[in-house]
Amino acid sequence: MKKYCLLLAAFFLFGTAGCGSSASEGSAHTASGGGGSSEAAAKSASPAISITDFAGRKIVFDTVPSKLVALGNGEMDIVYALGGKLVGRPNSPGTAAVKEASDVEQVGSTHSIDLEKIAFLEPDAVLGNNPLNMKDISAVEGAGAKMVLSSANSIDEIKKQIQLFGQMLQKERKASELIAAIDGKATALKAAQSSGKPRVLLVYGAPGTYMAALNNSLSGDILATAGGENIAADYPSLDNYPQYAQLNTEKIVKSNPQLILIMTHGNADKVKDGFIKEMQQNAAWNSLDAVKANRIEVLPADLFGTNPGTGIVKALDLMKQLLDKAK
């Protein structure tokens, strides 16, 4: 009996030691797997970044994209305003619209992408235009980048661009500050508006081609927000350019604008002279208030000839100054 008890005690001690060994191994495994747990925790703390672009496409980044290419000046401006940088920027005949991007490689534009350069730069994302760059998505993705599409046909769309890029770059607070500055400017301008709104003709021009900007264009929205009346607001839109309309000299004369503003990417003097010569074919042209007061202005291309990004605040200020002079 005593022998049996001794054997039982020995068995119990052996089993306990075995259990202790297993527990120790389990603890050791947990400790050695601490790195894995930390990594998992880190991943859960920094989840993938999911955004939805203006084309309704869901785009997911594993980490904050640091290598960006912008095909438009507005997108470039917003990235730098948020504290980001580019590895590729839109082509420009002179200096870059954003001084900090002067030495950044030029990769074409929304109208003509240099895919070879983009592939060489190996960006995480390419910021393009919706719908203009829809056709380029497969080629850009084939080069290893993700295409993010947006547009800027209104002040609200520029604010949405800022919000989208802020989300993508995890700079939501800065994005909110930039949007608040735009809202503050728009609110102040509307509060300062009087009952009499200056009558304005907005013209987009290139040598031999002139169109009137409608209210659904960015420049039309800037004009309305700053307190002007767009005399072409009811013109029928063009099929290929729904934010613009064909010029109608008779209607222009009838509306008698107090201010004529020209937007262009080309030579400003040539465009202005060409427009005036075309309008002078109507004998009543010289009777317009804008012509008699010599109020035919060419707007800065960086603020009106393209999406100005956060420069929309400057564009609103300039428009307000021009409207005040026309009263």
Q: How many CB atoms lie within 10 A of CB 17?
A: 10
pLDDT at 82 over 80: yes
Query: How many residues can be counted in the chain?
Result: 327
Q: Dump pLDDT digits (tens) for 45-75.
A: 567 999 999 999 999 999 999 999 999 999 9
pLDDT at 197 over 70: yes
Percentage of the residues of the chain whose pLDDT score is greater than 70: 86
- What crossing angle do the helices spanning 172-191 and 218-226 adopt, rounded to 10°? 50
Domain annotation covers residue 298: yes
Do 217 and 183 have their domain in common?
A: no
Do 152 and 262 have their domain in common?
A: no
Give 20 or 236, the one with higher predicted confidence: 236
Domain annotation covers residue 7: no
Give this prediction's pTM: 0.84
The pLDDT of residue 8 is 33
Among 188, 203, 234, identify where a domain stops. 188
Do 109 and 202 have their domain in common?
A: no
User: Tokens 């470039």 label which residue?
Assistant: 76
Measured in whole angstroms, the distance separating CA 217 from the mean position of its chain's CA atoms is 15
Do 173 and 53 have their domain in common?
A: yes
Task: Look at phi and psi of residue 108 and say left if phi exceeds 0, alpha if psi is from -120 to 50, else beta.
Answer: left
Among 165, 188, 211, identify where a domain stops. 188
CB 76 within 8 A of CB 68: no
Do 122 and 146 have their domain in common?
A: yes
The answer to whether the Cα torsion of 19, 25, 28, 34 is positive or negative is negative
Average pLDDT over residues 236-264: 95
pLDDT at 263 over 70: yes
Average pLDDT over residues 7-29: 36
Do 223 and 304 have their domain in common?
A: yes
pLDDT at 29 over 50: no
- Least confident range of 116-120, 206-210, 273-277, 319-323: 206-210
CA distance 263 to 82: 28
Using alpha carbons, select from 151, 124, 266, 284 the residue that is nearest to residue 203.
266
Domain annotation covers residue 25: no
pLDDT at 134 over 90: yes
Domain annotation covers residue 39: no
pLDDT band at 95 (very low <50, low <70, confident <90, very high): confident
Using alpha carbons, select from 187, 169, 183, 186 the residue that is nearest to residue 78.
169
Measured in whole angstroms, the distance separating CA 288 from the mean position of its chain's CA atoms is 37
pLDDT band at 24 (very low <50, low <70, confident <90, very high): very low
Read off the CATH number of the domain in which 122 is found: 3.40.50.1980
The pLDDT of residue 45 is 53
CA distance 101 to 282: 46
**Residue 243 to residues 29, 55, 150, 246, 290: CA-CA distances in angstroms?**
65, 18, 16, 11, 23
Strand partners, 146: 125
Do 181 and 54 have their domain in common?
A: yes
| CB-count burial class (<10 Å; 0-12, 13-18, 19+) for 115 | middle
Compute the C-alpha angle 4/10/13, nearest 5°.
Answer: 140
- What crossing angle do the helices spanning 218-226 and 312-326 adopt, rounded to 10°? 60
Average pLDDT across the chain, whole number: 87
pLDDT at 282 over 80: yes
- Least confident range of 39-48, 97-106, 111-120, 239-248: 39-48
Domain annotation covers residue 4: no
Do 149 and 229 have their domain in common?
A: no
Average pLDDT over residues 149-177: 98
Range of the domain at 250: 194-326
CA distance 195 to 176: 32
Do 203 and 183 have their domain in common?
A: no
The pLDDT of residue 255 is 97
CA distance 307 to 150: 11
Q: How many domains does the chain have?
A: 2
Do 285 and 158 have their domain in common?
A: no
Domain annotation covers residue 172: yes
The pLDDT of residue 278 is 86
pLDDT at 114 over 70: yes
Domain annotation covers residue 11: no
**Strands 209-213 and 244-246, sheet pairing:** antiparallel
Do 67 and 167 have their domain in common?
A: yes
Domain annotation covers residue 43: no
Among 132, 161, 188, identify where a domain stops. 188
Do 169 and 287 have their domain in common?
A: no
Average pLDDT over residues 106-114: 96
The pLDDT of residue 86 is 98
Average pLDDT over residues 273-290: 91
The pLDDT of residue 46 is 60
- What crossing angle do the helices spanning 2-32 and 34-45 adopt, rounded to 10°? 40
pLDDT at 22 over 60: no
pLDDT at 11 over 70: no
